[in-house]
Structure 1
Amino acid sequence: MKSPAHAKSSSKRNYILQLLTVFVGFLIFGFSENIKGPAIPRIQSDLRLDEMQLGTLLSLNSLGYLLACTFTAYLIRRIGVKVVSLIAFGSMAASGVFIFLSHSYPVLSGSFFLMYIGNGMLEIGLAVLGARIFVKNTGTMMNLSHFFYGLSSTVAPLVSSGLMTVTVFGHMLDWRGVYLIILSLSVVPMIPAVMGKFLGDATLAEDRIPLKAIARDPVIWLLVTVLSFGVISELAVGGWLVNFLEKAYGWESSAAAGMLSAFFLCFTLARLLLGPVTDKIGFTLSLIILAGFSGLCTFAAIVAGEPGAFLFALAGAGIAPIYPTVMALIADRYRKSSDAAITFVVTLMGVACVLGNYFIGALTNGIKNLFAAGAAEGTGLLRGLQAGYAFIGLCALLCSLFAFLLYRHLKRNNELI
C-alpha cells in the first residue's frame, strides 16, 4: 500500500504531466492554426487560386475539424482521452509530411483535411481534460491554458514569414517546408501524454446527463450560438488579415505578418490577464463586454482605413477570452457530462465555421466582381476585402448580442455562473 506522502507526490506529478499535456498541446495547436496567415498568399499564388477557391479550401479543411468533433467524445469514452490525444498529435505530425509533398489543389486540400482532423480531436481532447482537472478557478485556468495557444499564435506568423525565406541545402523552405517543420513539433506534447495517467474516463453511465437532455436545454443552444460567432471572428483573422493588409493596403509580407502577430499579442495578454476578471464578474457578462469590444474595434479599423490598422490587432484583446470562457461555463454547468456537452457545442460550432469561412470568401469575391463590372474597377478588390472583413466584425457583435440573451435567460432562472 502506498503511503499518504507517496500517493500525494504521485498525484502531484501526474497533475503536472496533465498540465504539460494541456499547455504544450495548446502551444502546438496555436502554431498549427496560425502559420497559415503568411502562407496563404503564397499558396494562392503558387497554385493560382482565386478568393472563392481560397475560401472553399479553408471551409473544406474545417470539415475535417467538424468530422473529428463528431466522433472524438465517443473515442474518449471507448479508449480514453490519453490515447485520443496521442492520435491527434500523431495526425498533425503526419499531415505536415503530406503538406510538404503537396503540389496540387486537391492534394493540399486532403493534407489540410487530415491536419484539421487532428486539430478537431485535439480541441475536444484538451477541452475535456481541462474540464476534468480545472475544478477551482475554472475561468482563470481555462484562460491560462488557452494563453499558450495565444502565445504560439503571436509568434507563428513571424516564424512562418521568416522561415519561408530560409534556404536549406540550396533549397528555399517556402510554405511547404514551414508546415513540415512546425507540425513535426507535435511529437513534443506526446511525451507528457505518454507518461501521465488521465483519470475520469470511467464516469458511471448513471452519473452522466444524457445527450438528449443536454440538447433540450436552451442554454446549450445559446452557448452554441455565442461560441460559433465568436470563433468565426477569432479564426477568420488568422486566415484573412495578412491577405487583407497586403492586397488592400499594399503592405509588405513582413509588415502584414507583424500586424497579425500584434493581434495575437493582444489576444495572448488578454487570456493571461483577464481570466481572473471572468471569474470575478461572471462568465456571461464577460462575454457580452469582450465580444462587443472586439466587434467595435474591427468596424472602427475598416472605417479608419490604413491609419486605423492597429485596431485590427486591438480587437484580439476582446475576442481572445470568448472560447475559454464558454468552456469554463460548460465545465461548471455540465461537470459530470462535460465531454458530451463540449462535443455537442464544438461540433455545431464547427458547422458554423465551415459556413463562415466559405461565406467570407464568397462575399469578398462577389463584391469584388460587382465593382469590377462597374465604373470603379480599381476599387473592386478593396471593397470586396472590406466587405469580407466587416463580416468578421459583425460576427463578434452577434456573439455579444447572443451572450446578452444568455445572460438574461440565466439571470431570469437564477442560474448565473
Structure 2
Amino acid sequence: MKITAKTNYYLLLFVIFGGFLIFGVSENIKGPALPEIQNDFTLSEGKLAILLAINAFGFLLACLYTSWLINKIGVKITSVVTLSLMALSGVFIYLSTNFATLTVAYFLLYIGNGMLEIGLAIIAARLFTKNTGTMLNLSHFFYGLGSTVAPIVAASMMGWTIQTETLGWNGMYLIMLSLSLLPIIPVLLSKFPKDTAEEENRTSIKSLTRDPIAWLIVFALTMGVTAELGMAAWLVNYLVKVDSMTLGDASGMLSLFFLFFMLARLLLGPITDKFGYTISIIVFSIFAFVCATIPIFTGGAYTFLFALAGLGIGPIYPTMMALLAKNYTNGTDTAITFTVSLIGIGTVITNLLIGYVIELVSGFSLGDNATINNQIGLQAGYLFIAITALLCALACVVMLFIMKKEQRVL
C-alpha cells in the first residue's frame, strides 16, 4: 500500500506525539513507586539518589550512541528497538527481588528512555522546520500529558488486587511499560525524513566545543532538566514526609504539577515564537524558582505552588531545543547529541547532589528527632532543586547578551 505524503506526515505526528506520551509515562510512574520501593528494600535517601543517578548514567550512554545508530541502521529500526527495549525493561522490573536487580532493570529502562529522547528529538527537528517553538512545545505537551496521568494511574494500579495478590509497584511497571509496544505499528508504516545538511557545512563536535553558546545551552538545560526531574522524583516523598500528606493526595499533587506542565507546553509555544526563545526561558525559569521556593518556607498552606511551578518548568526544555535547532541548522543531529549527552553527565551529578544534600543536612540538623531532621533535609534538597531553575535563568541572561552581540537567533 502506497502512503501519501500527507498520510505519512500524520503517521509521523502520531509517532512523535505517541512517543512523547510513552516517554512521559515511563519517566514519571516512579513518583508514587519510589516511596514503596524505598520501604520494600529499606533504602536510604542516599541509595535512592544512587539509583536515580545510575538511571541518568544509562540515559547518558544511550544519548552517546543513538545518533550514530540512527545513521547506521536508520530511524525506523532504531525506534522499533527502543520501544521493544522499554517494554522488556518492564518485565525485568517486575522480576526484581532486591536493590541490585532493580538497579539493572531501571538502568535498562533509562537506556530505552535515552534512545527514545534522542530519536524523537531528531525526528521532530527534521520534520518541524516551521513554527519550531510551537510544534516542539506541542510535541512535549504529550510528554506532559503522559506525566500528568502517570502518577494517578500508577498510584491506583499499585493498589489493585488480582486473585488476592496486590499488583504493587513492580506489577504496575510491567503493565505501564508494555504500552511502549503500541507506537511500533505507525513506526513501521512511516517513511522518516532525512538530514538534509551538506556534509562540508555540517556542525561538528569540535566546533561546538569552541562555541560558548553551546556550553551555555548545555548548562542552562542541565539546570532546567534537574529542576524538572527533581520535582517529579522528589515531590511525592517531600509531601508525604514533610507535609504529612497521604500517598494518594501527594500523587494527586504531582499530577497537578504535570497538568500545569502540560498546559504550559500546549498554550505557551506560540508566545515563545513571538517574543523569543531565550527571553521566554528566563521568565519561565524565574517563575518556577519562586513557586517552588515559597512553600518550603511557608508550610502546607501554599503547597499548591509546588504544582503551579509546572507552568514555568514545562516550556523550558522544548523551547531550548527550538533555540538549538534554529542556531545549528547544519547538523542538528550532532548538536542534539552533544547537548543531550552532556546534560546526561550533568544530571548524573545533580541527582547525586540532591540525595546527598538531603542526607547531609539531615545529619547536621540539631535535635534528636530523626523524623524532624529528615524533614529539614528534604526541605534543603527541594530548595536545591528550586535553585537549579534560577541558575537556568541566569545562564540564559548571559547567553542573551552574547547572542545579541553575535546577532544569532534569540
TM-score (norm 1): 0.96
Q: 1:82 aligns with which of 76, 82, 85?
A: 76
Higher mean alpha-carbon deviation, 277-286 vs 377-386, is at 377-386
Match of 1:100 in 2: 94
Aligned-partner Cα distance in 2 for 1:376–1:49: 19
Match of 2:386 in 1: 393
Aligned-partner Cα distance in 2 for 1:298–1:138: 29
CA contact (8 A) 1:81 1:201 kept: no
Match of 1:194 in 2: 188
Q: Structure 1 residue 405 and structure 2 residue 398: aligned?
A: yes
Aligned-partner Cα distance in 2 for 1:378–1:60: 27
Match of 1:3 in 2: none
Residue 256 of structure 1: SS of its match in structure 2? Answer: helix
Q: CA deviation at 1:201?
A: 4.8
Aligned-partner Cα distance in 1 for 2:201–2:409: 23
Letter in 2 for 1:63: F
Q: 2:377 aligns with which of 384, 387, 406?
A: 384
RMSD (CA atoms): 1.4
Aligned-partner Cα distance in 2 for 1:223–1:310: 30
Letter in 2 for 1:380: N
Q: Structure 1 residue 14 and structure 2 residue 8: aligned?
A: yes
Aligned-partner Cα distance in 2 for 1:61–1:209: 29
Q: CA deviation at 1:203?
A: 5.1
Q: How many residues are aligned here? A: 410
For residues 270-328 of structure 1, the C-alpha deviation after alignment (integer angstroms, 9 at most, x for no partner) is 00000000000000000100001101111112111111110000001001101101111
Q: Structure 1 residue 314 and structure 2 residue 313: aligned?
A: no
Match of 2:65 in 1: 71
Aligned-partner Cα distance in 2 for 1:82–1:337: 20
For residues 174-193 of structure 1, the C-alpha deviation after alignment (integer angstroms, 9 at most, x for no partner) is 00011000100000111111
Report the CA distance shift for 1:386/1:126 in structure 2 as closer, same or farther (over 3 A): same
For 1:10-409, what aligned pairs fall within 5 Å after superposition?
A: 10-201=4-195, 204-371=198-365, 374=367, 377-409=370-402
Report the CA distance shift for 1:15/1:207 in structure 2 as closer, same or farther (over 3 A): farther
Q: CA deviation at 1:379?
A: 2.2
Q: Which runs of 5+ in 2 are unaligned?
A: none
Letter in 1 for 2:57: L
CA contact (8 A) 2:282 2:394 kept: yes
Letter in 1 for 2:337: T
For residues 325-373 of structure 1, the C-alpha deviation after alignment (integer angstroms, 9 at most, x for no partner) is 111111111123111000100011011111111111111011111126x
CA contact (8 A) 2:90 2:174 kept: yes
Aligned-partner Cα distance in 2 for 1:260–1:375: 31
Q: CA deviation at 1:79?
A: 1.3
Aligned-partner Cα distance in 2 for 1:201–1:133: 10
CA contact (8 A) 2:203 2:335 kept: no
Report the CA distance shift for 1:316/1:369 in structure 2 as closer, same or farther (over 3 A): same
Q: CA deviation at 1:13?
A: 1.1
Residue 231 of structure 1: SS of its match in structure 2? Answer: helix
Q: Structure 1 residue 415 and structure 2 residue 408: aligned?
A: yes
Letter in 1 for 2:388: C
Aligned-partner Cα distance in 2 for 1:52–1:305: 25
CA contact (8 A) 1:66 1:351 kept: yes
Q: CA deviation at 1:378?
A: 4.9
For residues 141-194 of structure 1, the C-alpha deviation after alignment (integer angstroms, 9 at most, x for no partner) is 000000000001011100000000101122211000110001000001111111
For residues 190-240 of structure 1, the C-alpha deviation after alignment (integer angstroms, 9 at most, x for no partner) is 111111011215754224222211221111111001100000000111110
CA contact (8 A) 2:221 2:343 kept: yes
Aligned-partner Cα distance in 1 for 2:163–2:329: 53
CA contact (8 A) 2:262 2:314 kept: yes
Letter in 2 for 1:400: A
Q: CA deviation at 1:82?
A: 1.8
CA contact (8 A) 2:327 2:409 kept: no
Residue 4 of structure 2: SS of its match in structure 1? Answer: helix
Q: CA deviation at 1:377?
A: 4.8
Aligned-partner Cα distance in 1 for 2:409–2:193: 29
Higher mean alpha-carbon deviation, 292-301 vs 107-116, is at 292-301
Q: Which runs of 4+ in 1 moved over 2 A?
A: 201-207, 374-379
State, as a whole percentage, how many aligned pairs show the same letter: 50
Residue 249 of structure 1: SS of its match in structure 2? Answer: coil
CA contact (8 A) 2:282 2:396 kept: yes
TM-score (norm 2): 0.98
